[in-house]
Structure 1
Amino acid sequence: MSALRPLHLAAEIGGPPEYEAAPYVELARLAEHGALDFVTLRDSFARPGPDALAVLARVAPATERIGLVPTVTTTHTEPFHVSTAVATLDWVSRGRAGWLVDVSDTPAQARLFGRRPAAPAADLWQEAGEVADAAARLWDGREDGAGIRSTATGRLVGRDRPHHAGFEGTGFPVRGPAVVPRPPQGHPVTVVDVTGGHSVRTAARYADVVLVGAAAPERIGAVREELRARAAGHGRDPDTLRVLAALTIDLSGGERPAEPGLESAPRTTAGAGGPHYRGGPVDLAELITAWHRTGAVDGFHLTPAEPWRDLERLVNGTVALLQHRSRFRTFHPGGTLREHLGLARPATQYTLAGGTA
């Protein structure tokens, strides 16, 4: 495994809705046993079941190292509440939180709230970017160490260091300041799925991790280059952007011999729900290695077709083999999700600007 380009792996732990915490805890622990960077829990306003962010807040104290990334829908949701909820998850997980930004674009979901009709996807993703911007300002609104209660005096320390966000979006203003101290990571990790295409601009400007669903590394490589160019255009360092291939994996079958001359051919198909891999754990390890070697991806986000079966085979089969071949780490390199991903903890924008309270 190259020290310059480590392989990053993440997995989805959702499936049929569960109304108890135990299944999610066990799946997260299994992923943690494999030293995966993080787990996601997909959610939407149309999905039955408990709220993903609340579920992972319950998973947090039952795990130690694994990153926790719930879907957070920015449509119909107040940006102040979004930033507060994600910051809270970062605190209760001791710096392991992220959020998978998503939007709600159907009339049926809009009627659940009754506040406004469904909007075009491009407008919703512009709004999602503005929510990400406002959230970052709110997280920075309490400088490190500000708003922490002293056990000796019972008073708040650093009360003179809040900053108002002063954000004016196209559809909302956010004044602030935040009511939660600055998160342990500074900014919890922002994840955006660009498979649908509408979210590319938002991802290039605000995402730390981008998920790309495609059945071939060449296609992901093209998206990666576009994202890096756009990120540079926003003044970002493109090397801080992690691009993960998103695949649904079905490990119910056995290994299949490769056809002559196609030993490295990816065994993936493009389906209605995104690209699928169907095969065995060893073949999946070969695919992961081959795609990563091309430089098209920094890693993979894998969604098990059947959570219990496929995640177990992923961790104890594919990941174990990658570790044996020194292609993937055997332990988490740090305590926070940013450390797992090799991302620095950002300074507050107010400190960088030399601002004062």
Structure 2
Amino acid sequence: MAVPTGTLHLAGAIDGAGQYEAPYYVELARLAERGRLDFVTLDDSLGSPGEGPGRLDALAVLARVAPATERIGLVPTVTTTHTEPFHVSTSVATLDWVSRGRAGWRAEVSTTEAEARLVGRRPAAPAGELWAEAGEVADVVARLWDSWEDDAEIRDTATGRFIDRDKLHYVDFEGAHFRVRGPSIVPRPPQAHPVVTIDATDSVTWPTVVRHADVALVRATGPDAAGRIRDELRRRAVAHGRDADALTVLAAIAVDLGDGEYAAEPAPEQDPLTAVADGPPLYRGGPVDLAELIAGWHDARAVDGFHITPVVPRHDLERFVNGTVALLQHRGLFRTFYPGATLREHLGLPRPANRYALAREAVR
């Protein structure tokens, strides 16, 4: 099993079906920030309102959360299937600007005919085709972010020049699904490329994950299985010319922390995680035992960290931060302060160079 970096990464979901007030999301994000979590996610989909509780637009909600927080990363789900990549690029770049470099996005696809009818632009398509399209979206979005060089803005009032046109670039992207000329209408984001997260539960996503993801979420009920998935994803990323450490792999679990410090009925011979259909494995117990589970997987070098989804958002996230995270911090396994200011810095990822600036320098 490949050896990961020594840093333990923790993230959490702040979902809230039927929640329509900003203070709810601000409270949960601040709670996660108090625990020094790397980032929070907010789910979104194009599902029909008749299929369950309504939800707010995740990108817009986290843009509201951004000025109410200081360091924690903000990662909304963005569905690529019925969304133009130009709009994905500008929206996520805007979130990165308003959060001062703390944005990411969780790429997702829309597979149902009901969702396709809501938008009305195209019929549903097979998952493999949609994830190939999502890979193209990630590619063209990164190009659009690079279409402004970092110092493209001049803002010279004396000459009336706002931008150096030599440092603004057409991306001229032509793929199987899109033609995008560019450039973007938003300057290059503070992180250059906001962090891309993809759920790697289904292997149909893997070709997109290993080419484009900075963070992969995996589901496994034990460290051996998680480690095998992690190693395979990193091996494939290397085969595509990437550094293995450029892909952070987090185990996704749902947590029901109840009211006690330990599991009500400890059963060492029983797996602490229970597989759940159409969802992450479920941990049901106390914060102390969860800290032991996380420390054990970390010692086994199975994953780079965990992404937790609280079953009862306020209650379980609070017990996770005040109990599990505090114990991990006490043992020196998790940070007690943010050493950097951006999400890429939290994850130990370098700021990407601008491809167009590098190409211009190469011909000089």
Classify the TM-score, shorter chain. over 0.9
Task: Please list the CA deviations of residues 16-40 of structure 1 after superposition, one character each: whole Å capped at 9, or x if unmatched.
Answer: 2211111000100000000000000
Distance 1:4 1:202, change over 3 A: closer
1:270 aligns with 2:270: no
Separation in structure 2 between the aligned mates of residue 51 and residue 251 of structure 1, nearest angstrom: 28
Structure 2 equivalent of residue 301 of structure 1: 307
The Cα of 1:149 is off from its aligned counterpart by: 3.2
Alignment partner, residue 223 of structure 2: 217
Say whether the 8 Å CA contact 1:231–1:237 is kept in structure 2: yes
Aligned to 2:7: 6
Deviation at 1:158, TM superposition (A): 2.3
Q: Give the C-alpha shift of residue 250 in structure 1.
A: 0.4
What is the deviation of 1:239? 1.3
8 Å contact kept, 2:4–2:303:
no
1:23 aligned to 2:24? Answer: yes
Gaps of 5+ in 2: none
Residue matched to 1:136: 142
Contact 2:218 2:249 in 1 (8 A): yes
CA contact (8 A) 1:249 1:310 kept: yes
Show structure 1 runs of 5+ residues with no match: none
CA distance in 2, matches of 1:112, 1:233: 39
- Please give the alpha-carbon distance, in whole angstroms, between the structure 2 residues aligned to 1:159 and 1:133: 23
**Residue from 347, 350, 354 that aligns with 2:360:** 354
Counterpart for residue 287 of structure 2: 281
Q: 1:76 aligns to what?
A: 82
CA deviation digits over 1:251-284, x for unaligned, max 9?
0153136556x5xx75110011221100000000
Q: State TM-score, norm by structure 1.
A: 0.95
C-alpha separation in 1, matches of 2:14 and 2:345: 22
- What pairs with 1:308-319 in structure 2 (closer than 5 Å)? 308-319=314-325
- The 5 Å alignment of 1:42-53 reads 42-46=43-47, 48-53=54-59
Matched with 1:193 is 199
Cα distance 1:330–1:25, how it changes in 2: closer, same or farther (>3 A)? same
- TM-aligned CA deviation for residue 154 of structure 1: 5.8
Structure 1 runs of 4+ off > 4 angstroms?
A: 150-154, 257-260
Letter in 2 for 1:142: W
Following superposition, the deviation at residue 159 of structure 1 comes to 3.0
In the alignment, is the contact (CA less than 8 A) between 1:43 and 1:71 conserved in 2? yes
Give the whole-Å Cα distance in 2 for the aligned partners of 1:158 and 1:314: 49
Deviation by residue 1:52-98 (Cα, 9 ceiling, x = unmatched): 00000000000000000000000011000000100000000000000
What is the letter of the counterpart of residue 11 of structure 1?
A: G
Question: Aligned residues: percent identity?
Answer: 65
Contact 1:147 1:159 in 2 (8 A): no
Q: 1:301 to 1:148 in 2, by over 3 A?
A: farther
Moved more, 168-177 or 297-306: 168-177
Change beyond 3 A, Cα 1:107–1:4: closer
Residue 34 of structure 1 is matched in structure 2 by 35
Counterpart of 1:336 (choices 335, 339, 342) is 342
CA contact (8 A) 2:4 2:301 kept: no
Q: Provide the rounded CA distance (Å) in 2 between the counterparts of 1:61 and 1:126.
A: 35
Q: In 1, distance between residues paired with 2:281 and 2:215? A: 19
33-42 or 344-353: bigger deviation = 344-353
The one-letter code sitting in structure 1 at the alignment partner of 2:45 is: S
TM-score, structure 2 normalization: 0.93
C-alpha distance in 1, partners of 2:217/2:71? 21
From the superposition, tell whether residues 352 and 280 of structure 1 become closer, same or farther in structure 2 (CA, over 3 Å). same
- Contact 1:140/1:186 (<8 A) preserved: yes
Kept after mapping to 2: 8 A contact 1:148/1:181: no
Number of aligned residue pairs = 353
Deviation of residue 152 (structure 1)? 6.7
SS at match of 1:119: coil
Hey, what does 2:122 align to over in structure 1? 116
Task: Work out the CA distance in 2 between the residues paired with 1:157 and 1:114.
Answer: 38
User: Counterpart of 1:33 in structure 2: which amino acid?
Assistant: R
In 2, the alpha carbon distance for the partners of 1:50 and 1:151 equals 40
Matched AA of 1:187? H
Q: 134-143 or 227-236: which moved more?
A: 227-236
Counterpart residue identity of residue 62, structure 2 = L
Secondary structure in 2 aligned to 1:245? strand
1:237 and 1:152 map into 2 onto residues whose CA distance is 45
